[in-house]
Amino acid sequence: MADPTIIGLVLAGGLSRRMGGGDKCLRPLGGRPILARILERLRPQVGTVVVNANGDPARFAAFGAPVAADTVDGFAGPLAGILAGLRWIGSNRPEARFMVSVASDAPFFPADLVARLVAGAEAAGTPLACAMSYGRTHPVFGLWPVSLADDLEHALRVEDLRKVDAWTGRYGCAAVAFAETGFDPFFNVNRPEDLAAAEEMLARTPV
């Protein structure tokens, strides 16, 4: 059963330049928006799901999730989206302890992502955790303590820090390895050719 004190965040605040602009997560995959598939995987794992996106939130109304815009101007990258999620939690779910973030263009992430990240952080004795597969870490698939929101805001606004690894490295971040099952569960759709590859993956292994 999902832990109600863990909130899920879908990071959809990027500019999607390699896809030609617009919201990658609204593009269809197997006849359904990528975002619909992501919410379907994430919702059973957390108490509530929030979408981090900028611009008019009405374009996400059909998905039934609250939208939190960046609180730091200038499209400051994933850390700005993480901060937006943490601030939304502070205002709307103050009882929450953690947030788990996922990318809005990666529809195949594991169904046990949240539980594995929490267990990995506990086992390593670190406050943060991120996913790893095929020898690569995936910092935006991460576990974030709500208690670090003020520290993150200082890093973004005062230090102008933008690199996720540079910030998580200050506190300790467990890299949690996920099984290599023939395709990368953290495959992301960055370009039109990636969307075509995702269609092939979906046809081979419906998830």
Q: What is the pLDDT of residues 98-152, one digit of tens each?
A: 999 999 999 999 999 999 999 999 999 999 999 999 999 999 999 999 999 999 9
How confident is the model over 90-112, as pLDDT tens digits? 999 999 999 999 999 999 999 99
pLDDT of residue 74: 78
Going from N- to C-terminal start, the domains of the chain cover 3-204
At residue 20 the predicted structure's pLDDT band, cuts being 50, 70 and 90, is very low
Helix (H) or strand (E) holding 113: helix 113-124
Going from the C-alpha of 163 to that of each of 42, 108, 126, 205, the distances in angstroms are 25, 24, 19, 34
The CATH topology of domain 3-204 is Spore Coat Polysaccharide Biosynthesis Protein SpsA; Chain A (3.90.550)
At residue 53 the predicted structure's pLDDT band, cuts being 50, 70 and 90, is very high
pTM of the model: 0.93
* Whether residue 13 has pLDDT greater than 90: no
If one counts every other C-beta atom within 10 angstroms of the C-beta of residue 105, the result is 26
Q: Are 165 and 155 in contact (CB under 8 A)?
A: no
* Whether residue 181 has pLDDT greater than 90: no
Question: Encoding tokens for residue 94?
Answer: 């103050």
* Whether residue 7 has pLDDT greater than 80: yes
Distance CA(84)–CA(89), nearest Å, equals: 9
pLDDT of residue 25: 94
